[in-house]
Every structure is written in structure tokens, then in C-alpha cells.
Amino acid sequence: MGLVDWNAVWNGEILLSRRARLNSGRFWDEIAERDQGEPCLPDELTEQHLRRIAARADETVLEIGPGMGRLTVPLARAARAVTVVDPSAGMLRRLRVRAVEEGLTNLRMVHGAWEDAETLDAVGPHDVVVGSYSLFMLDMRAQLERMHRLAADRVCLFVPAEPRMPEAVERILFGAVVSSRLPDHVLLFNLLHDLGIHADVEVLTHPREKRFGSLEEAVDEQLRFHDAPEESREAFAEYVEPKLQRRDGAFVLARPVKTGVLRWRVA
């Protein structure tokens, strides 16, 4: 291990940004119950992800946290077989319905947490391990070791390439900037380096728009996203309002989003 304990830095960032709650099956069960499945990422970005995974017809793929199948469905069409691991029974139900609708017969679903040893015992090795916006676990060093161990050929991860919380949000919630300001792809690169794994890294930039019916709706979304207390509503309104555009009767939040891609070969 180097001079910096990158695992401790990762744990601190996960707890500070309240992302630990996103590793809960219950959290995603609630999302699955109310979400109508509208795409949250543009099709172009999904295509870029699929090109970087490059699953072949003779390969098996293991996906961590598939959600509603943004990558899962096209991967199942491209690969010999796909296994998904997810702690949310609700998300897996939604994905199962979609798999039937899509006529997929090569998709296996495992209900459980990635960091659960019994879950992984039921999974077994696959040619490719994939994780897309699903790494909310603590002790990431151990999770990366599991990915490396279960991948027969390669691992491909997609994570935020910008700090989870803008500086202004940190000041609202904590009164100061308290995080490392290091994005996930930087932390993961250093964790992998300490493990003796040299990953290729690139950053994708894509436009993203979210539409809201009102300023209040936009503020509600920010409060949920950052797990912020209701008493910070006024401060969040002051933060969000200047960023919104009025377009076709809606409030539009438009900004470029950066995604870090980390890929490495095991063999």
C-alpha cells in the first residue's frame, strides 16, 4: 500500500455523500415501485459503453447492479449468457418482465449484495465483469479484488468522473468543502494501482437534460439526490434556480456529465 490509504478515502467519500444508502435493496425497491422506467442516460452514451465492453457471442458477462437493464438487455443479445447481481428484488422483478418482453433466454438473475460471499459463491467466474453507476459499496479494495477474481478475461467499470457533490452543495450541507474532491475514477485507479492492477482510463463527456414541471420539483429532486434535510430547501432553491432554463413551459437543467471508464485485462 502507498502513502495514501485509498480504501479509507473511498469509504469516507461514500459516507460523506450519503451513497451508502444506495447500496440497499430497500432503496432500489422503492425506486422500482415508483419509476416508470424512463431513460436517465442518453442512448448515445449507452452505445459508447457497449462498444467499450465489446462482449462477444462466445462470452459470458457478469453485471453488478443492472437496474432496469439499460446495459443488460443489449449485452444479453450480444453475449452467450449474462448473469446479474442485485440486492433489490423489485429491480430484478422489473428486469425479469423486460427480459420476457425482449424474448431473452440467456439471462440469469442473482438476488443479493455483491459483497456477500454466499452471493458470489452462487455466481462463479465469467469472461467479463461489468459495473455501471452501481459501485456504492464500502471497502472497495475488497470489491475490486472480487471483480478481478471472477473475471476470466476483463473488467469494465463506468463511474462518475466528477465529484459527487458540487462545492456549493457541500457548503449548504456542511458549511464548508469537506470532501477530497476526487472523483470515483481517480480513487478507483489508485486503489487498483495499489493492488498491482494497471487499468486503462478514459473520460466520456455527454450532454444531459432533466425536465421539471416547476422549481419546487427541481428542488425536490436535488434534496432526494443528496439526501438533504428539509430545512436546507431554501438554500437548495437558491442554488438550483440560476441553473434552470425555461423551455416549452418546463424547467430544464442542462449540463455536460462526465463518466470515467476503467478497463483492465485479467489474463
pLDDT tens per residue across span 218-252: 999 999 999 999 999 999 999 999 999 999 999 99
Which of 112, 134, 130 lies closest to 49 in space, CA to CA?
130
Question: How many domains does one find in the chain?
Answer: 1
| Residue 37 pLDDT level (bands cut at 50, 70, 90) | low
Residues 88 and 32: beta-carbon distance below 8 Å: yes
In a domain, 29, yes or no: yes
Residues 6+ apart with CB under 8 A from 199: 188, 189, 192, 262, 263, 264
In a domain, residue 46? The reply is yes
Does 212 reside within a domain? no
pLDDT at position 204: 95
Residue 138 cell numbers, joined: 464500502
Evaluate if pTM is beyond 0.75: yes
Gap between the Cα atoms of 27 and 242, Å rounded: 30
Which residue do the cell numbers 473488467 mark? 155
With contact defined as beta carbons under 8 Å apart, do 244 and 207 qualify?
Answer: no
Q: What's the rounded Cα separation, in Å, for the pair 141 and 8?
A: 10
C-alpha cell at 263: 478497463
pLDDT band, very low/low/confident/very high, at 42 (cuts 50, 70, 90): low
Cell numbers representing residue 46 in the block: 449507452
Q: In the chain, what is the greatest distance between 2 CA atoms, to the nearest angstrom?
A: 54
Has residue 38 been placed in a domain?
yes
Domain assignment of residue 152, given as a range? 6-168+176-206+257-265
| Residue 51 included in any domain | yes
Residue 28 pLDDT more than 90?
Answer: no
Q: Is residue 54 part of a domain?
A: yes
Mean pLDDT of the chain: 92
pLDDT tens-digit profile of 54-112? 999 999 999 999 998 999 999 999 999 999 999 999 999 999 999 999 999 999 999 99
Give the CATH number of the domain where residue 109 resides.
Answer: 3.40.50.150
The dihedral through the CA atoms of 169, 8, 261, 33 has a sign that is negative
Contact 257, 180 (CB under 8 A): no
Does residue 49 lie in a domain region? yes
- How far, CA to CA in Å, does 42 sit from each of 39, 102, 125, 199, 256? 7, 20, 31, 26, 12
Is residue 251 in some structural domain?
no
Return the pLDDT at 199.
97
Closest C-alpha to 42, from 211, 257, 208: 208
